Amino acid sequence: MSISATIKKLLNERILIIDGAMGTMIQKHKLTEEDYRGDRFRNYAHSLKGNNDLLVLTQPQIILDIHRAFLESGADILETNTFSANSISMADYHMENLVWELNVEATKLARQAADEFTAKNPDKPRFVAGSIGPTNRTASLSPDVNNPGFRAVNFDDLRLAYREQVQALIEAGCDLLLVETVFDTLNCKAALFAINELKEEMNSDIPVMVSGTITDNSGRTLSGQTPEAFWNSVSHGDIISVGFNCALGAEQMRPYVEELSRVAWINVSCYPNAGLPNEFGEYDDTPEGMAAVLESWCKEGWVNIVGGCCGTTPDHIRAIADSAAKYKPRKVPVLSLS
């Protein structure tokens, strides 16, 4: 059975668990500028601290250990450490030439960890999802308050940037692609366009997940869409799941997950933050508290994939996995032609 078919089969059988926050886990290491640089970029002309995606080249052991910790806690799906590994985001560090290498090396690390755990227990196969972030620019909003017509990036720029990233992720052996933290649906559409182009060119059937971000209690994405509008905008994209992640804690995200569950005719995913950040920028939701909220969603039959975003640790994922294991996945509605 192909990986794609295996994933689809498993999604019918149980709620799959996606891993937790890579950034939070990296922060625990309190890495310095020198750590980020490693040997290869020791003399690099620009500051590199904060370029977490670069760590797959300069501190691969840290990333590998984080992957292993999330697998140990029960994650079925590992995200590659490639959230910003696209030429648009990497331009901030003058490292757009590294996009391919970052995505390939990140996939190799996640692949290594996932394969280790699958070999230990073939009954619980682990999967690698290529993380595709929104970039640091928005195609449908102006960053210049004095010039509403200005756009810092256009659809074609995004399409080309995503093509480069996605091709590397597929070539390197990802099982899934995850277009996540979508705050601007037009950015997401550029990613889906690039993915569909490449799937055809590369004769790939790699499944694609999309996860949007409700930015605040307005219940809308940054580009102004409600959950239903967001779903309607991406439903054409040949995707296996749609959902939400980041920005909100589990409690705040409840109504939006419910709404999405009501309207989407594919699998629904959700991996919220561990609450809202406190005054120190830290996340306070405990593993038990967060798992209890997500368990209520599982009980309601709203979700097929759950996990954690910012602030979530392996302990959070373990608690969520234990809770989700008690319930059947959401039954995906079959569309009627009448």
Residues that bind another protein (CB under 8 A): 40, 45, 94, 96-98, 100-101, 104, 108, 153-154, 156-157, 159-160, 163, 171-172
- Nearest approach in angstroms of CB 26 to another protein is 23
- Nearest approach in angstroms of CB 31 to another protein is 22
Question: Where is 17: in which H helix or E strand?
Answer: strand 16-17
- Nearest approach in angstroms of CB 104 to another protein is 7
Of the pair 101, 251, the CB lying nearest another protein is at 101
Of the pair 101, 115, the CB lying nearest another protein is at 101
- Nearest approach in angstroms of CB 156 to another protein is 5
- Nearest approach in angstroms of CB 147 to another protein is 17
Please name the residue ranges forming H helices in the chain. 3-13, 22-27, 33-37, 55-58, 60-72, 87-90, 99-120, 155-172, 185-201, 227-234, 250-263, 287-300, 314-324
Nearest-angstrom CA–CA distance, 266 and 261: 9
3-state helix, strand, coil in the chain (%, to 5): 45, 15, 40
Nearest-angstrom CA–CA distance, 179 and 83: 9
Nearest-angstrom CA–CA distance, 55 and 27: 12
Question: Where is 205: in which H helix or E strand?
Answer: none
Of the pair 105, 259, the CB lying nearest another protein is at 105
Q: Sign of dihedral through CA atoms 281, 75, 334, 166?
A: positive
Of the pair 190, 309, the CB lying nearest another protein is at 190
- Nearest approach in angstroms of CB 1 to another protein is 24
Whole-number CA gyration radius for the chain: 19
The number of angstroms, rounded, from the C-alpha of 225 to the middle of its chain's C-alpha atoms is 19
Q: Length of the chain, please?
A: 338
Of the pair 65, 101, the CB lying nearest another protein is at 101
Question: Where is 139: in which H helix or E strand?
Answer: none
Of the pair 61, 97, the CB lying nearest another protein is at 97
- Nearest approach in angstroms of CB 97 to another protein is 5
- Nearest approach in angstroms of CB 93 to another protein is 11
Nearest-angstrom CA–CA distance, 136 and 143: 11
- Nearest approach in angstroms of CB 308 to another protein is 30
Q: What is residue 226's DSSP assignment?
A: -
Of the pair 149, 281, the CB lying nearest another protein is at 149
Of the pair 32, 97, the CB lying nearest another protein is at 97
Residue 65 token pair: 């250990």
Of the pair 92, 284, the CB lying nearest another protein is at 92
Question: Where is 145: in which H helix or E strand?
Answer: none
Residue 315 token pair: 């302990």
